[in-house]
Structure 1
Amino acid sequence: MLTVNDLSLSIQKVPILDGVALSIAEGETVGLIGRNGAGKTTLMRAIMGLIDRESGELIFKGRKLHAEKAHARAGLGIGYLPEDRRLVPHFTVEENILVPLWASKKTADLSRLKWVYDLMPEIGRFADRKALTLSGGQQKLVALARALVVGTDLLLLDEPFEGVAPALAQHLMEVISSLKDENLSVLISESDYTHSKEVVDKVYVIERGSINQMENINE
Protein backbone atom coordinates (compact mmCIF):
# COMPACT_ATOMS: atom_id res chain seq x y z
CA MET A 1 0.00 0.00 0.00
CA LEU A 2 2.73 2.48 1.02
CA THR A 3 6.50 2.27 0.67
CA VAL A 4 8.89 4.95 1.92
CA ASN A 5 12.36 4.65 0.38
CA ASP A 6 15.43 6.49 1.70
CA LEU A 7 13.45 9.61 2.69
CA SER A 8 15.48 12.58 3.90
CA LEU A 9 14.49 16.16 4.64
CA SER A 10 15.55 19.19 6.63
CA ILE A 11 13.61 22.06 8.19
CA GLN A 12 15.37 25.43 8.12
CA LYS A 13 18.58 23.59 7.18
CA VAL A 14 18.35 21.33 10.22
CA PRO A 15 18.29 17.63 9.22
CA ILE A 16 15.13 15.97 10.57
CA LEU A 17 14.72 12.72 8.61
CA ASP A 18 17.71 10.74 7.38
CA GLY A 19 17.20 7.86 4.97
CA VAL A 20 13.89 6.70 6.44
CA ALA A 21 12.50 3.49 4.96
CA LEU A 22 9.33 1.59 5.85
CA SER A 23 6.50 -0.29 4.20
CA ILE A 24 2.83 -0.88 4.96
CA ALA A 25 0.99 -3.70 3.23
CA GLU A 26 -2.69 -3.70 2.36
CA GLY A 27 -4.76 -4.30 5.50
CA GLU A 28 -1.72 -4.03 7.77
CA THR A 29 -1.58 -1.97 10.97
CA VAL A 30 1.92 -0.62 11.66
CA GLY A 31 3.30 1.16 14.69
CA LEU A 32 5.81 4.03 14.49
CA ILE A 33 7.45 4.30 17.90
CA GLY A 34 9.77 7.05 19.08
CA ARG A 35 10.34 9.73 21.66
CA ASN A 36 9.17 13.31 21.21
CA GLY A 37 11.34 14.92 18.56
CA ALA A 38 12.34 11.61 16.97
CA GLY A 39 10.69 12.51 13.65
CA LYS A 40 7.31 10.76 13.80
CA THR A 41 5.19 13.83 13.04
CA THR A 42 7.61 15.07 10.39
CA LEU A 43 7.40 11.72 8.61
CA MET A 44 3.61 11.78 8.57
CA ARG A 45 3.56 15.37 7.38
CA ALA A 46 5.99 14.45 4.60
CA ILE A 47 3.73 11.59 3.50
CA MET A 48 0.84 14.07 3.35
CA GLY A 49 2.92 16.54 1.34
CA LEU A 50 2.90 19.21 4.07
CA ILE A 51 6.72 19.23 4.15
CA ASP A 52 8.86 18.91 1.03
CA ARG A 53 11.27 16.01 0.88
CA GLU A 54 14.89 16.52 -0.16
CA SER A 55 15.45 13.00 -1.44
CA GLY A 56 13.85 9.58 -1.46
CA GLU A 57 10.54 8.20 -2.68
CA LEU A 58 6.98 7.84 -1.40
CA ILE A 59 5.17 5.12 -3.34
CA PHE A 60 1.44 4.70 -2.74
CA LYS A 61 -0.41 1.90 -4.55
CA GLY A 62 2.31 1.84 -7.19
CA ARG A 63 2.28 5.59 -7.92
CA LYS A 64 4.77 8.26 -6.93
CA LEU A 65 3.00 10.00 -4.09
CA HIS A 66 5.73 12.63 -3.82
CA ALA A 67 4.73 13.85 -7.29
CA GLU A 68 1.17 14.61 -6.12
CA LYS A 69 0.08 17.97 -4.71
CA ALA A 70 -0.59 17.98 -0.96
CA HIS A 71 -4.26 18.92 -1.38
CA ALA A 72 -4.78 15.96 -3.74
CA ARG A 73 -3.62 13.26 -1.36
CA ALA A 74 -6.87 12.98 0.57
CA GLY A 75 -8.61 12.32 -2.73
CA LEU A 76 -6.33 9.32 -3.27
CA GLY A 77 -7.80 7.54 -0.25
CA ILE A 78 -5.41 8.72 2.48
CA GLY A 79 -6.81 9.95 5.80
CA TYR A 80 -4.69 11.89 8.31
CA LEU A 81 -5.25 12.54 12.00
CA PRO A 82 -2.68 15.17 13.07
CA GLU A 83 -1.36 15.20 16.61
CA ASP A 84 -2.97 18.59 17.33
CA ARG A 85 -6.32 17.65 15.70
CA ARG A 86 -6.51 20.82 13.52
CA LEU A 87 -10.27 21.30 13.65
CA VAL A 88 -11.92 24.50 12.42
CA PRO A 89 -13.37 25.89 15.69
CA HIS A 90 -16.46 27.60 14.24
CA PHE A 91 -17.38 24.75 11.91
CA THR A 92 -19.79 22.12 13.12
CA VAL A 93 -18.57 18.59 13.76
CA GLU A 94 -20.01 17.39 10.46
CA GLU A 95 -18.51 20.31 8.54
CA ASN A 96 -15.10 19.48 10.01
CA ILE A 97 -15.49 15.86 8.98
CA LEU A 98 -16.32 16.89 5.40
CA VAL A 99 -13.45 19.40 5.01
CA PRO A 100 -11.05 16.98 3.24
CA LEU A 101 -13.79 16.07 0.75
CA TRP A 102 -14.32 19.75 0.00
CA ALA A 103 -10.57 20.30 -0.33
CA SER A 104 -10.26 17.47 -2.84
CA LYS A 105 -13.42 18.68 -4.62
CA LYS A 106 -15.08 15.31 -4.19
CA THR A 107 -18.81 14.89 -3.75
CA ALA A 108 -19.62 13.95 -0.18
CA ASP A 109 -20.08 10.20 0.11
CA LEU A 110 -23.05 10.05 2.45
CA SER A 111 -22.75 6.28 2.77
CA ARG A 112 -19.18 6.73 4.01
CA LEU A 113 -20.32 9.43 6.43
CA LYS A 114 -23.06 7.14 7.73
CA TRP A 115 -20.49 4.37 8.20
CA VAL A 116 -18.36 6.73 10.29
CA TYR A 117 -21.38 7.65 12.43
CA ASP A 118 -22.25 3.98 12.84
CA LEU A 119 -18.66 3.25 13.87
CA MET A 120 -18.66 6.09 16.42
CA PRO A 121 -22.30 6.83 17.33
CA GLU A 122 -21.34 9.58 19.76
CA ILE A 123 -20.03 11.63 16.81
CA GLY A 124 -23.45 11.55 15.16
CA ARG A 125 -25.10 12.71 18.37
CA PHE A 126 -23.18 15.99 18.37
CA ALA A 127 -22.79 16.41 14.60
CA ASP A 128 -24.43 19.87 14.69
CA ARG A 129 -22.31 21.24 17.54
CA LYS A 130 -19.48 23.68 16.91
CA ALA A 131 -16.04 22.11 17.29
CA LEU A 132 -14.99 24.76 19.82
CA THR A 133 -17.64 23.51 22.28
CA LEU A 134 -16.15 20.01 22.45
CA SER A 135 -13.72 18.60 24.97
CA GLY A 136 -10.22 17.68 23.85
CA GLY A 137 -11.15 14.00 23.80
CA GLN A 138 -14.27 14.64 21.72
CA GLN A 139 -12.21 16.69 19.30
CA LYS A 140 -9.83 13.74 18.91
CA LEU A 141 -12.78 11.55 17.92
CA VAL A 142 -13.91 14.12 15.36
CA ALA A 143 -10.39 14.29 13.92
CA LEU A 144 -10.42 10.49 13.60
CA ALA A 145 -13.84 10.64 11.91
CA ARG A 146 -12.48 13.22 9.46
CA ALA A 147 -9.57 10.93 8.62
CA LEU A 148 -11.89 7.96 8.18
CA VAL A 149 -14.29 9.67 5.78
CA VAL A 150 -11.55 9.97 3.15
CA GLY A 151 -9.12 7.30 4.36
CA THR A 152 -10.57 4.45 2.34
CA ASP A 153 -7.13 2.87 1.79
CA LEU A 154 -4.61 4.32 4.25
CA LEU A 155 -4.87 6.04 7.64
CA LEU A 156 -2.07 8.04 9.24
CA LEU A 157 -2.76 8.47 12.97
CA ASP A 158 -0.28 10.74 14.72
CA GLU A 159 -0.30 10.23 18.51
CA PRO A 160 -4.05 9.45 18.60
CA PHE A 161 -3.98 8.57 22.32
CA GLU A 162 -1.94 11.50 23.59
CA GLY A 163 -3.72 13.82 26.02
CA VAL A 164 -6.94 11.80 26.31
CA ALA A 165 -8.43 10.08 29.35
CA PRO A 166 -7.75 6.33 29.72
CA ALA A 167 -11.37 5.39 28.99
CA LEU A 168 -11.37 7.40 25.74
CA ALA A 169 -7.96 6.01 24.77
CA GLN A 170 -9.43 2.52 25.16
CA HIS A 171 -12.43 3.50 23.03
CA LEU A 172 -10.15 4.89 20.32
CA MET A 173 -8.16 1.66 20.37
CA GLU A 174 -11.35 -0.37 19.97
CA VAL A 175 -12.37 1.74 16.97
CA ILE A 176 -8.91 1.40 15.39
CA SER A 177 -8.89 -2.33 16.06
CA SER A 178 -12.24 -2.71 14.28
CA LEU A 179 -10.72 -1.24 11.11
CA LYS A 180 -8.94 -4.53 10.44
CA ASP A 181 -12.31 -5.83 9.26
CA GLU A 182 -12.32 -3.05 6.63
CA ASN A 183 -8.91 -4.10 5.24
CA LEU A 184 -7.54 -0.60 5.84
CA SER A 185 -3.82 0.02 6.08
CA VAL A 186 -2.97 2.04 9.21
CA LEU A 187 0.17 3.77 10.49
CA ILE A 188 -0.03 4.72 14.19
CA SER A 189 2.63 6.82 15.93
CA GLU A 190 3.20 6.63 19.69
CA SER A 191 6.02 7.25 22.13
CA ASP A 192 5.67 3.55 22.97
CA TYR A 193 3.12 0.91 22.01
CA THR A 194 1.27 0.84 25.32
CA HIS A 195 -2.08 1.31 23.61
CA SER A 196 -1.54 -0.19 20.18
CA LYS A 197 0.52 -3.31 20.94
CA GLU A 198 -2.49 -5.63 20.70
CA VAL A 199 -3.49 -4.42 17.24
CA VAL A 200 -0.26 -3.65 15.34
CA ASP A 201 1.28 -6.24 13.04
CA LYS A 202 4.75 -4.74 13.17
CA VAL A 203 6.55 -1.79 14.72
CA TYR A 204 9.21 0.56 13.37
CA VAL A 205 11.40 2.32 15.94
CA ILE A 206 12.52 5.81 14.94
CA GLU A 207 15.34 7.67 16.69
CA ARG A 208 16.85 10.99 15.68
CA GLY A 209 15.15 10.88 12.31
CA SER A 210 16.24 7.36 11.36
CA ILE A 211 14.46 4.01 11.43
CA ASN A 212 16.77 1.87 13.55
CA GLN A 213 14.83 -1.36 13.74
CA MET A 214 11.64 -3.14 12.81
CA GLU A 215 9.87 -5.65 15.04
CA ASN A 216 7.28 -8.20 13.91
CA ILE A 217 4.83 -8.28 16.80
CA ASN A 218 3.00 -11.43 15.74
CA GLU A 219 6.04 -13.64 15.42
Structure 2
Amino acid sequence: MNASVPLLEIDHLVVEIASMPALRGFSMRVATGAMVSLVGRNGAGKTTLMRSIMGHLKPAQGAVRFEGTDLSACPRHARAALGIGYMPEDRGLVPQLTVEENILLPLWVARHLDRKARLDFVYEVIGELAEMRHRKALSLSGGQQKLVALGRALGIGTKCLLLDEPFEGIAPALSERLSEVLASLRGKDLTLLISQSDMNHSRGLIDVEFTIERGANLAAG
Protein backbone atom coordinates (compact mmCIF):
# COMPACT_ATOMS: atom_id res chain seq x y z
CA MET A 1 0.00 0.00 0.00
CA ASN A 2 1.24 3.51 -0.83
CA ALA A 3 2.33 5.18 2.42
CA SER A 4 0.80 8.47 1.27
CA VAL A 5 -2.66 6.92 1.04
CA PRO A 6 -4.52 6.92 4.40
CA LEU A 7 -5.94 3.60 5.53
CA LEU A 8 -9.35 5.18 6.06
CA GLU A 9 -10.57 8.35 4.41
CA ILE A 10 -13.93 10.03 4.99
CA ASP A 11 -14.53 12.66 2.32
CA HIS A 12 -17.29 15.25 2.95
CA LEU A 13 -19.78 12.62 4.05
CA VAL A 14 -23.46 13.56 4.09
CA VAL A 15 -25.91 11.09 5.64
CA GLU A 16 -29.62 11.60 6.28
CA ILE A 17 -31.78 9.55 8.66
CA ALA A 18 -35.55 9.90 8.18
CA SER A 19 -34.85 12.93 5.94
CA MET A 20 -32.94 14.67 8.75
CA PRO A 21 -29.22 15.45 8.34
CA ALA A 22 -27.09 13.25 10.62
CA LEU A 23 -23.72 13.92 8.97
CA ARG A 24 -23.16 17.27 7.25
CA GLY A 25 -19.99 17.01 5.19
CA PHE A 26 -17.80 15.32 7.81
CA SER A 27 -14.23 14.51 6.72
CA MET A 28 -11.27 12.71 8.27
CA ARG A 29 -8.10 10.88 7.27
CA VAL A 30 -6.79 8.02 9.41
CA ALA A 31 -3.23 6.82 8.90
CA THR A 32 -2.20 3.18 9.09
CA GLY A 33 -1.35 2.16 12.64
CA ALA A 34 -2.80 5.30 14.25
CA MET A 35 -4.98 5.37 17.35
CA VAL A 36 -7.63 7.97 16.62
CA SER A 37 -10.35 9.40 18.85
CA LEU A 38 -13.65 10.73 17.53
CA VAL A 39 -15.04 12.95 20.28
CA GLY A 40 -18.55 14.38 20.38
CA ARG A 41 -21.61 14.72 22.53
CA ASN A 42 -24.53 12.30 22.34
CA GLY A 43 -26.30 12.85 19.02
CA ALA A 44 -23.28 14.52 17.40
CA GLY A 45 -23.06 11.86 14.69
CA LYS A 46 -20.42 9.44 16.02
CA THR A 47 -22.51 6.27 15.66
CA THR A 48 -23.85 7.44 12.30
CA LEU A 49 -20.27 7.74 11.04
CA MET A 50 -19.37 4.27 12.29
CA ARG A 51 -22.49 2.74 10.74
CA SER A 52 -21.79 4.53 7.46
CA ILE A 53 -18.26 3.12 7.33
CA MET A 54 -19.68 -0.35 7.96
CA GLY A 55 -22.28 0.02 5.22
CA HIS A 56 -25.35 0.03 7.48
CA LEU A 57 -26.21 3.55 6.28
CA LYS A 58 -25.95 4.82 2.71
CA PRO A 59 -24.42 8.29 2.27
CA ALA A 60 -26.33 10.87 0.26
CA GLN A 61 -23.04 12.53 -0.70
CA GLY A 62 -19.33 12.04 -0.15
CA ALA A 63 -17.22 8.91 0.00
CA VAL A 64 -15.74 6.37 2.38
CA ARG A 65 -12.42 4.94 1.18
CA PHE A 66 -10.47 2.09 2.71
CA GLU A 67 -6.93 1.57 1.43
CA GLY A 68 -7.83 3.93 -1.39
CA THR A 69 -10.89 1.94 -2.52
CA ASP A 70 -14.35 3.53 -2.45
CA LEU A 71 -16.60 1.34 -0.29
CA SER A 72 -19.86 2.54 -1.85
CA ALA A 73 -20.04 -0.46 -4.16
CA CYS A 74 -18.85 -2.89 -1.47
CA PRO A 75 -21.63 -5.03 0.09
CA ARG A 76 -22.05 -4.63 3.83
CA HIS A 77 -20.88 -8.14 4.73
CA ALA A 78 -17.66 -7.66 2.76
CA ARG A 79 -16.24 -5.24 5.34
CA ALA A 80 -15.15 -8.19 7.46
CA ALA A 81 -13.11 -9.63 4.61
CA LEU A 82 -11.35 -6.28 4.22
CA GLY A 83 -9.96 -6.58 7.75
CA ILE A 84 -12.34 -4.15 9.47
CA GLY A 85 -13.63 -5.11 12.92
CA TYR A 86 -16.63 -3.27 14.42
CA MET A 87 -17.67 -3.00 18.06
CA PRO A 88 -21.10 -1.33 18.18
CA GLU A 89 -22.14 0.74 21.17
CA ASP A 90 -24.88 -1.77 22.08
CA ARG A 91 -22.34 -4.65 21.81
CA GLY A 92 -24.55 -6.55 19.33
CA LEU A 93 -23.90 -10.00 20.81
CA VAL A 94 -26.15 -13.00 20.18
CA PRO A 95 -27.35 -13.81 23.74
CA GLN A 96 -27.86 -17.56 23.26
CA LEU A 97 -24.42 -18.11 21.73
CA THR A 98 -21.30 -18.68 23.80
CA VAL A 99 -18.48 -16.17 24.09
CA GLU A 100 -16.40 -18.13 21.59
CA GLU A 101 -19.27 -18.49 19.13
CA ASN A 102 -19.87 -14.73 19.24
CA ILE A 103 -16.18 -14.07 18.53
CA LEU A 104 -16.28 -16.53 15.62
CA LEU A 105 -19.41 -15.07 13.96
CA PRO A 106 -17.67 -12.64 11.55
CA LEU A 107 -14.84 -15.12 10.95
CA TRP A 108 -17.34 -17.53 9.36
CA VAL A 109 -17.62 -15.16 6.37
CA ALA A 110 -13.85 -14.53 6.12
CA ARG A 111 -12.61 -17.83 4.78
CA HIS A 112 -9.14 -16.47 4.05
CA LEU A 113 -8.39 -16.24 7.79
CA ASP A 114 -7.26 -19.07 10.05
CA ARG A 115 -10.01 -19.16 12.66
CA LYS A 116 -7.92 -20.93 15.29
CA ALA A 117 -5.05 -18.48 14.84
CA ARG A 118 -7.40 -15.51 15.20
CA LEU A 119 -9.06 -17.03 18.28
CA ASP A 120 -5.64 -17.65 19.82
CA PHE A 121 -4.71 -14.02 19.15
CA VAL A 122 -7.90 -12.76 20.81
CA TYR A 123 -7.34 -14.97 23.86
CA GLU A 124 -3.72 -13.83 24.07
CA VAL A 125 -4.76 -10.17 24.11
CA ILE A 126 -7.85 -10.59 26.34
CA GLY A 127 -7.01 -13.55 28.56
CA GLU A 128 -10.25 -13.50 30.53
CA LEU A 129 -12.21 -14.33 27.37
CA ALA A 130 -10.48 -17.71 27.21
CA GLU A 131 -11.77 -18.44 30.71
CA MET A 132 -15.32 -17.42 29.68
CA ARG A 133 -15.30 -19.03 26.23
CA HIS A 134 -18.05 -21.57 27.01
CA ARG A 135 -20.37 -19.18 28.85
CA LYS A 136 -23.50 -17.85 27.12
CA ALA A 137 -23.35 -14.15 26.34
CA LEU A 138 -26.60 -13.51 28.23
CA SER A 139 -24.95 -14.67 31.48
CA LEU A 140 -22.29 -11.95 31.37
CA SER A 141 -22.26 -8.50 32.93
CA GLY A 142 -22.41 -5.43 30.69
CA GLY A 143 -18.68 -4.85 31.08
CA GLN A 144 -17.86 -8.47 30.26
CA GLN A 145 -20.05 -8.22 27.17
CA LYS A 146 -18.03 -5.16 26.10
CA LEU A 147 -14.86 -7.28 26.29
CA VAL A 148 -16.51 -9.99 24.17
CA ALA A 149 -17.60 -7.40 21.60
CA LEU A 150 -14.03 -6.08 21.52
CA GLY A 151 -12.73 -9.63 21.11
CA ARG A 152 -15.09 -10.23 18.19
CA ALA A 153 -13.91 -7.02 16.50
CA LEU A 154 -10.30 -7.97 17.18
CA GLY A 155 -10.74 -11.46 15.73
CA ILE A 156 -11.84 -10.19 12.33
CA GLY A 157 -10.18 -6.76 12.39
CA THR A 158 -6.74 -7.55 11.05
CA LYS A 159 -6.22 -3.98 9.80
CA CYS A 160 -8.73 -1.64 11.48
CA LEU A 161 -10.95 -1.59 14.55
CA LEU A 162 -13.99 0.70 14.84
CA LEU A 163 -14.95 0.97 18.52
CA ASP A 164 -18.18 2.87 19.18
CA GLU A 165 -18.33 4.22 22.76
CA PRO A 166 -16.34 1.31 24.26
CA PHE A 167 -16.12 2.97 27.70
CA GLU A 168 -19.78 3.93 27.94
CA GLY A 169 -21.73 2.48 30.87
CA ILE A 170 -19.10 0.18 32.38
CA ALA A 171 -17.58 0.06 35.85
CA PRO A 172 -14.27 1.88 36.47
CA ALA A 173 -12.31 -1.36 36.94
CA LEU A 174 -13.47 -2.74 33.58
CA SER A 175 -12.90 0.64 31.96
CA GLU A 176 -9.29 0.50 33.18
CA ARG A 177 -8.94 -3.06 31.89
CA LEU A 178 -10.30 -2.01 28.51
CA SER A 179 -7.71 0.79 28.36
CA GLU A 180 -4.98 -1.77 29.12
CA VAL A 181 -6.15 -4.01 26.29
CA LEU A 182 -6.24 -1.13 23.81
CA ALA A 183 -2.79 0.03 24.90
CA SER A 184 -1.45 -3.49 24.29
CA LEU A 185 -2.52 -3.25 20.64
CA ARG A 186 -0.08 -0.44 19.89
CA GLY A 187 2.65 -1.62 17.56
CA LYS A 188 0.58 -4.51 16.15
CA ASP A 189 -0.06 -2.73 12.80
CA LEU A 190 -3.66 -2.11 13.82
CA THR A 191 -5.51 1.14 13.22
CA LEU A 192 -8.07 2.09 15.89
CA LEU A 193 -10.91 4.58 15.56
CA ILE A 194 -12.53 5.06 18.97
CA SER A 195 -15.65 7.18 19.44
CA GLN A 196 -16.33 8.67 22.87
CA SER A 197 -18.02 11.60 24.55
CA ASP A 198 -14.81 12.68 26.28
CA MET A 199 -11.12 11.75 26.48
CA ASN A 200 -11.05 10.78 30.16
CA HIS A 201 -10.42 7.08 29.55
CA SER A 202 -8.00 7.20 26.64
CA ARG A 203 -5.95 10.40 26.69
CA GLY A 204 -2.68 8.49 26.97
CA LEU A 205 -3.58 6.17 24.08
CA ILE A 206 -4.55 8.58 21.34
CA ASP A 207 -2.37 9.88 18.50
CA VAL A 208 -4.96 12.05 16.75
CA GLU A 209 -8.25 13.55 17.90
CA PHE A 210 -11.19 14.61 15.73
CA THR A 211 -14.15 16.49 17.17
CA ILE A 212 -17.59 16.11 15.64
CA GLU A 213 -20.46 18.49 16.39
CA ARG A 214 -23.91 18.35 14.77
CA GLY A 215 -22.56 15.97 12.12
CA ALA A 216 -19.68 18.18 11.00
CA ASN A 217 -16.04 18.79 11.83
CA LEU A 218 -15.85 21.25 14.72
CA ALA A 219 -13.06 23.25 13.07
CA ALA A 220 -15.19 23.69 9.97
CA GLY A 221 -17.93 25.28 12.08
* TM-score of the superposed pair, with normalisation by structure 2: 0.94
Deviations 1:79-123 (A, max 9, x none): 000000010000010000011112445555211210110111100
Aligned residue in 1 for 2:190 = 184
- Kept after mapping to 2: 8 A contact 1:27/1:184: yes
Aligned structure 1 segments of 4 or more residues deviating by more than 2 angstroms: 103-109
Q: In terms of mean alpha carbon deviation, does 99-108 or 191-200 score higher?
A: 99-108
In 1: Cα distance, 2:30 partner to 2:179 partner = 19
Percent sequence identity over aligned pairs: 52
Task: Check if 1:173 corresponds to 2:179.
Answer: yes
Task: Check if 1:94 corresponds to 2:90.
Answer: no
- Kept after mapping to 2: 8 A contact 1:98/1:108: no
Q: Which amino acid aligns with 1:9?
A: V
Query: How far off is 1:213 after superposition?
Result: 3.1
Aligned residue in 1 for 2:81 = 75
Query: How far off is 1:136 after superposition?
Result: 0.6
In 1: Cα distance, 2:160 partner to 2:72 partner = 16
State which of 14, 19, 39 in structure 2 corresponds to 1:33: 39
Aligned residue in 1 for 2:16 = 10
- Kept after mapping to 1: 8 A contact 2:160/2:192: yes
In 1: Cα distance, 2:217 partner to 2:60 partner = 17
Deviations 1:6-43 (A, max 9, x none): 10010110110010100110100000000000000000
Residues 1:57 and 1:75: Cα distance change in structure 2 (over 3 Å):
same
Query: How far off is 1:66 after superposition?
Result: 2.1
Equivalent residues in 2 for 1:51-200 (5 A)? Answer: 51-104=57-110, 108-200=114-206
Q: Which amino acid aligns with 1:94?
A: E
Question: CA RMSD for the aligned pairs?
Answer: 1.2
- Kept after mapping to 2: 8 A contact 1:204/1:213: no
Deviations 1:66-88 (A, max 9, x none): 22111110110000000000100
Equivalent residues in 2 for 1:42-53 (5 A)? Answer: 42-53=48-59
Q: Which amino acid aligns with 1:96?
A: N
In 2: Cα distance, 1:9 partner to 1:188 partner = 20
Deviations 1:47-84 (A, max 9, x none): 00011111111110111122211111011000000000
In 2: Cα distance, 1:126 partner to 1:184 partner = 25
Structure 2: gaps of 5 or more residues = 1-6
The number of equivalent residue pairs is 214
Task: Check if 1:22 corresponds to 2:28.
Answer: yes
Q: In terms of mean alpha carbon deviation, does 198-207 or 95-104 score higher?
A: 95-104
1:187 aligned counterpart, secondary structure: strand
* TM-score of the superposed pair, with normalisation by structure 1: 0.95
1:86 aligned counterpart, secondary structure: coil
Query: How far off is 1:201 after superposition?
Result: 0.5
In 1: Cα distance, 2:206 partner to 2:71 partner = 24
